[in-house]
Amino acid sequence: MSSDPNALKVVKELGRNQEVLFSIARVPNSHRLFVGSSNGKVYDVNPLAEKPEFKEFEGHQSYVMGLALCGNRLISGSYDCKLIWRDIETGQIVRTVENAHAKWIRGLTASPDGKLVASVADDMACKLWNAESGELVKELRGHAPQTPQNFPSMLFACNFSTDGKLLATCDKVGHVIVWNVEEGKQISAVDAPLLYTWDPKARIHSIGGARSVAFSPDGKLLAVGGTGQISNIDHLEALARLEVFDWEKKERTHEFPGDTYKGLVQRLAFEPSGKWLACAGGDGGGFLKFIDLSEKKVIKQDKAPMTVHAFVFDETFETLYAAGHGKLAVWELKG
C-alpha cells in the first residue's frame, strides 16, 4: 500500500444539479458506487467510466441518508423511516421494512463481516438488523431523547470496530456510547460537549452535535467529529472540530479544534495500519483533512469542490470517492 495524503489530487468531478448526495457505498474491487440522494433516489454509477451514467433506483420518498453493502444486497435508509433491501445485480427491491424507525433515519453501517446492518435515527434508537433476512436482531437504547434544554435530540451516526465486536453511536449533544455488539449492552461512554452549541437568548435553538465517529484499527481509540462552538447559530461559522478518546479510560487523548476550514466533520475513516485518520465535511464549501495521531499533527488538508457528506476508500486507500452537495468527486492519494 503506497497511499500518501500529500499526493492528494482530484481526478474526477461529476455534477448533480439541484441535488445533495448524502451517502455512498462501493462494490469491492471496483469503481462501482451506489449514492443516496436528496430526491429519494439511489444511483448506481462508475465515476471513472469513460462516459459515467447514473442509473436510478427508486423506492424512497425522502433523503437517502445511509447505504450499506452486504454481499449482493444494498440496504438503504431514509428520512421516510424505511429500510430497503435491493439486489445489486438486478436492481430489484427484495425487501422493504416500513417504519423501521419512528423518526428520520440518519445513518447506516454494515458490520465488517457483512452479517449485520446498524441503523440510527431520531427516535434515538440504534437497531441491528440481520443483513440477509432483514430480521431485527437487537435494539440499543441509551441516548437521551431530549437535550438538557428539553428539545428533541438527534442520533446522527454509528460505526463498528474493525473486528465487529464494538459499535459506537453519537448524538446531538456530543454524547457517544460504545456498545458490546454480541450482548447488546453499553460498555462505555464519552462526551464531546464542545461539538454542541445552545443559544439561550436570541434564537432559543441549538446547532452542531457529534456527526461522525470511527474506531482506530486496534479498537482502542474513538474519533468523534463535528464543529466547534458557534456565536451565530444560524450559520456553521465555527472551525471543523475533531476529538479522539481512549474510550475504555473515558479520557480525551487528542483535540484538533481546526485552523482553516469551517463546518461539520461529516465522515471519518482510519487508514488500516492506523498511520493516519481522514476526515471530511464543510459548511457550504468543503474540505478533506488527514491527521497523524501519533505526531498529533495535520498531514494534509485541502479544499473540496463541494461540502462532503460521505466518502469511501478503495482497498489500497489510494482512491477516495466522495458524495456531497451537488457533486460526486474522486481523489487519488498515490505516493
Q: What is the mean pLDDT of the chain?
A: 96
pLDDT digits (tens, 9 = 90+) for 214-239: 999 999 999 999 999 998 878 889 99
- What's the whole-number mean pLDDT along residues 275-291? 97
Among residues 112, 43, 29, the alpha carbon closest in space to that of 76 is found at: 43
Kindly state the DSSP code that residue 194 receives in the 8-state scheme. G
Task: Tell me the three state secondary structure of residue 22.
Answer: strand
Task: Tell me the three state secondary structure of residue 193.
Answer: helix
Q: Residue 225 contacts by C-beta under 8 Å, 6 or more apart in sequence?
A: 210, 211, 212, 213, 240, 241, 242, 243, 264, 265, 266, 267, 268, 279, 281
User: In angstroms, what is the C-alpha Rg of the chain?
Assistant: 18
Backbone φ, ψ for residue 195 (5° rounding)? -80, -5
pLDDT at 282: 97
- What's the whole-number mean pLDDT along residues 306-314? 98
Is the pLDDT confidence value at 213 over 60? yes
Is the pLDDT confidence value at 89 over 60? yes
Q: How far apart are CA 256 and CA 240, in angstroms?
A: 9
pLDDT digits (tens, 9 = 90+) for 239-282: 999 999 999 999 999 999 999 999 999 999 999 999 999 999 99
pLDDT digits (tens, 9 = 90+) for 161-203: 999 999 999 999 999 999 999 999 999 999 999 999 998 887 7
Tell me the three cell numbers of residue 243: 476529538
Do 278 and 269 touch, CB atoms closer than 8 A?
A: yes
Work out the pLDDT band at 33, boundaries 50, 70, 90: very high
Q: How far apart are CA 266 and CA 170, in angstroms?
A: 12
Domain boundaries, given as residue ranges, for the chain: 5-332
Do 186 and 197 touch, CB atoms closer than 8 A?
A: no
pLDDT at 1: 54
**Amino acid identity, position 266:** Q
pLDDT at 235: 84
Superfamily holding 5-332: YVTN repeat-like/Quinoprotein amine dehydrogenase (2.130.10.10)
